[in-house]
Amino acid sequence: MSTTENTALAVATERRVQDTRLRAIGAIRQLDTAGETITFASVSQRSGVSRSWLYRQPDLRAEINRLRATPAPTVPSAQRASTDSQHRRLEATLDEIQRLKAENQQLRELLAQRLGQQRVDGPN
């Protein structure tokens, strides 16, 4: 084999390795975003990469093991609310409850006044 052929083969191999890594990383992200269980089998199936290849990649193996140890959330990560967002929603809900309580009290008072007026006026 000539030097040119060796170089072309090395470039093609490197490109194939990078493509395989990108597919595996993409599969991990998709599974995490969807809130699905992340295992070597699920990543392998989603990415079309062999499980043995995943086990031989120290960084990917560590990430899969880390995510496997974490229970899958019931809500996908893309839809999870931040703590600040949850606080704002809670405050807005509490404000709405206070507003509704005040409105309810006003309506009760108005009803009591009308019922009192009907008693004074007598039956029609």
**Spans of all domains in the chain:** 1-79, 81-124
pLDDT tens digits for the chain (124 residues)?
677 777 888 888 889 989 999 999 999 999 988 888 899 999 999 999 999 999 999 999 999 999 988 765 566 666 677 888 888 889 999 999 999 999 999 999 999 999 988 888 877 6
Q: Could you give the CA distance from residue 37 to residue 39 in angstroms, rounded to a whole number?
A: 6
Residue pointed to by tokens 């960084």: 59
Is 24 exposed, middle or buried, given 0-12, 13-18 or 19+ CB atoms closer than 10 A? Answer: buried
For residue 13, the model assigns a pLDDT of 87
CA distance 12 to 48: 19
What is the pTM assigned to this prediction? 0.54
